[in-house]
Structure 1
Amino acid sequence: MTTLGTTRGRPRGFDRDVALDRAIRLFWRKGYEATSVRDLGEELGIGQPSLYNAFGGKRALFDEALDVYEHTYGEFISTALTEEPTAALAMRRILAEAAARYTRRGLPRGCLVTSGDAGTDDPEVRAATSRIRKEKMDRLRRRIEADITKGLLPDDTDATGLAGYVMSVLSGLVQRARDGAPRRELDSAASIAARALP
């Protein structure tokens, strides 16, 4: 945790880690495009010069927010792929945990990586979120391919299609969560989706 005093215009007691978490939650709630520099300044309790001094501006702050979000709030997919012995179990765990993840009490609904670039034409912002989504998709696809090779999944399993199916279900759950759907509905939808898995 980094606490600063009166360094170059920042308020006394400015805590960069706390400020970054507030920025993450603001981007998570509103998305990159709808979040203004003024919004960020008000949320973080600092002026625009201090914002640029601490984080390098809105774009740089969003990039850092994405990275930290992935390691603090969005790790459940990677955790399932790491801990579960088979792709099938990992996919079922991901779907089973999704509803709770996207409706956590005290946090914005949904997922920053899935919806943070909504409405923006900024190619770098879209590339940043797309890269993370693609990495998750590719990692899941490789796990499925490995299980096909081991004979744990049928030879005719479409690894790309199956990984895409799971990621598409997650995107749909994110949108329903952002629309205010209750967790029980999301759990039910995820359970129905899981029945289609091999």
Structure 2
Amino acid sequence: MLFRGFLLTLRTLRSGPAGGHLSNDRARYLYRPLYNAGMTKPAGRPRAFDRDAALEKALAEFWRHGYEATSIAGLTGAMGIRPPSLYAAFGDKRRLFSECVQRYQETYGAATARALQDAPTAREGIAAMLRTAAADYSDPSHPPGCLVITAAANHGPENADVEAELRAQREATKALIADRIKADVRAGRLPPGTDADALARFYAATVQGMSRQAQDGATRAELEEIAVLALRAWP
């Protein structure tokens, strides 16, 4: 790195045994870094934390407290990093939240979707989905309930985009349930007049209610009882 010195308020320059020096105590240099052609700017300080582990910690904070109630201070405390590191690695709280939602859907939230899709019939798929939800929502190894449901509580108008993102996720689940039911209607496993969309709304509401119950302390057995009762509505 080369430096160009700009001499300010220079009055006198005396030469001495050791060479030229400034005699005026008000004189000073202003330095500005310059780079020779072909020289590259030094790399920034390498990230000193595990981004993936930090993302998991942030996910748990949003899951436990919801979007609005989760502060930057709470996030950085849980993640073990300082605010500048959070902004450098994740952008901001809003973008971090979206990344957490995506991570949740690819990991914790994927089990209920698989249970619904992998079963041979819609009824068996919905039964498996409800059983899986009962187990996952009450699992003590992570916060209770479903992030996509619990994080949506108490949003003000300034965070309408957060609610829209979460609503889209919930609507996608409801559409998946409806598609399974409609497939069984076409296959003749359900009566032709079955209202697939109404049934899908009912079972989506059941899943959302189970999430809320889990947050309130319902056990796995209690959530499974809800699932059993809900299946009695099957046509």
TM-score (norm 2): 0.78
Instruction: Name the counterpart of 1:174.
Output: 211
- What is the number of residues matched between the two proteins? 191
CA distance in 2 between counterparts of 1:77 and 1:163 reads 14
Instruction: Name the counterpart of 2:28.
Output: none
Residues 139-192 of structure 1 show CA distances to partners (whole Å, capped at 9, x for unaligned) of: 111111111111111111110010111110111111110011222211111111
Instruction: Name the counterpart of 1:197.
Output: 234
Residue type of the alignment partner of 2:197:
T
Please say if residues 8 and 50 of structure 1, whose CA atoms lie closer than 8 Å, have aligned partners that are also in contact: no
Instruction: Name the counterpart of 1:3.
Output: none
Secondary structure of residue in 2 paired with 1:118: coil
Could you tell me which runs of 5 or more consecutive residues in structure 2 were left unpaired when the two chains were aligned: 1-42
1:81 Cα deviation from its structure 2 partner: 2.8
1:9 Cα deviation from its structure 2 partner: 7.6
Secondary structure of residue in 2 paired with 1:73: coil
Instruction: Name the counterpart of 2:178.
Output: 141
CA distance in 1 between counterparts of 2:46 and 2:76 reads 13
CA distance in 1 between counterparts of 2:108 and 2:217 reads 19
Instruction: Name the counterpart of 2:61.
Output: 26
- CA gap of 1:46–1:9, structure 2 versus 1, over 3 A, is farther
Which structure: greater helix fraction?
1
CA distance in 1 between counterparts of 2:129 and 2:81 reads 38
CA distance in 1 between counterparts of 2:144 and 2:175 reads 25
Instruction: Name the counterpart of 2:145.
Output: 110
Task: Pick from 163, 187, 197 the counterpart of residue 224 of structure 2.
Answer: 187
TM-score (norm 1): 0.92
Runs ≥4 residues deviating over 3 A: 6-10
Which structure: greater strand fraction?
2
Instruction: Name the counterpart of 2:22.
Output: none
Q: Does 1:70 align with 2:105?
A: yes
CA distance in 2 between counterparts of 1:118 and 1:72 reads 22
Please say if residues 26 and 40 of structure 1, whose CA atoms lie closer than 8 Å, have aligned partners that are also in contact: yes
Please say if residues 116 and 128 of structure 2, whose CA atoms lie closer than 8 Å, have aligned partners that are also in contact: no
Q: Does 1:95 align with 2:130?
A: yes
Residue type of the alignment partner of 2:121:
T
Residue type of the alignment partner of 1:197:
W
1:76 Cα deviation from its structure 2 partner: 2.0
Q: Does 1:156 align with 2:156?
A: no
Residue type of the alignment partner of 2:195:
D
Residues 17-38 of structure 1 show CA distances to partners (whole Å, capped at 9, x for unaligned) of: 0000111111000000100011
Instruction: Name the counterpart of 2:87.
Output: 52
Moved more, 155-164 or 180-189: 180-189
Please say if residues 110 and 177 of structure 1, whose CA atoms lie closer than 8 Å, have aligned partners that are also in contact: yes
Could you tell me which runs of 5 or more consecutive residues in structure 1 were left unpaired when the two chains were aligned: 1-5
Residue type of the alignment partner of 2:111:
F
Please say if residues 102 and 111 of structure 1, whose CA atoms lie closer than 8 Å, have aligned partners that are also in contact: yes
- CA gap of 1:7–1:73, structure 2 versus 1, over 3 A, is farther
